[in-house]
Amino acid sequence: MSFVTDDNREELGLPRKPLRRNRSRLLPVLFVLAVASVIGLSAGRIYRERALQSLYIEMILLQSETHPVRLQSALAGFQKSAARLISNEKTRLMLAQAYLYAADNLPNQSIYLHACLRELDLLMLNAKLTDPQFEAEALYTKSMALSGLNQDQLARVALDQYATILGPDLTGGQKAFWQNAKAYLLATSSDPKVRNPEEALDLAKHAISSTWHDNQGKTLSQMPAIIDTLAAAEFANHNAERALQIQTVALALADEMSMLSYLDNYDKYAQSLKLSSTRKTDRTDH
């Protein structure tokens, strides 16, 4: 009985066994392919990161626009850039926030608010949100859009979910801005199931007394939006004179873009105070 070996394969009319040799030849090829695959993945990741950074810069520039025509142009450009990265959850959140900003500064507010909510719904539906901070930011954005559409009960739910998700991590500036947002909602809502002037005033006072400050060293007590909320909470508690005094400070600190909104509130408080004074005078005369 003859055993087949590498030495006698030819004598027995069998081809030499090539497998091991071919494998060794393939090793460098497989290594090159593996390296190329890793490089391809790395290059793709680097491209996406750079594209996201570029998109973030576009977002900052968009939010610095106050002129309607330039803002519409910036929004159109941002939409085009975002479309290339729309599968990325951060892109979709930025797009929602861009619509929210447009709603605050352009006509047809409801169109942009609905667009904001649409992007957030798609985000929640398709993305696996494992980062609490990211999910909380999406909920905060959602609450602002819902409030703008006078869906105050849903807005309050979103704000409460925001606080629940962050839990003990809700501190510093995040906590103060959440307190401010909820205070404004509770103070200004016309929905009796949401409106709560007492809680609004308590939250507004806590927010404005926060020691948090931004990169320029500005505290919340120096921010007109925070002061405006405190004035709204005072007014909701029938303190029109106090609200007017506080709103005067907000106006003094306001920029051109937000001035009209604060002026509207100032006029409302002034008219209420004037009406109250007239009623007191009438009662005294009688």
At residue 229, the pLDDT reads 97
Question: Looking at the domain covering 195-286, what would its CATH class be?
Answer: mainly alpha
At residue 19, the pLDDT reads 45
Statement: residue 4 has pLDDT above 50:
no
Gap between the Cα atoms of 156 and 148, Å rounded: 12
Q: Which of 8-17, 85-94, 272-281 shows the highest mean pLDDT?
A: 85-94
Instruction: Provide the residue ranges of all domains of the chain, joining segments of one domain with +.
Output: 195-286
At residue 1, the pLDDT reads 47
The runs of H, that is alpha helices, within the chain are 19-62, 68-83, 89-105, 109-126, 132-148, 152-166, 172-188, 197-208, 224-236, 240-253, 256-285
Gap between the Cα atoms of 243 and 245, Å rounded: 5
Gap between the Cα atoms of 270 and 187, Å rounded: 18
The answer to pTM > 0.85 is no
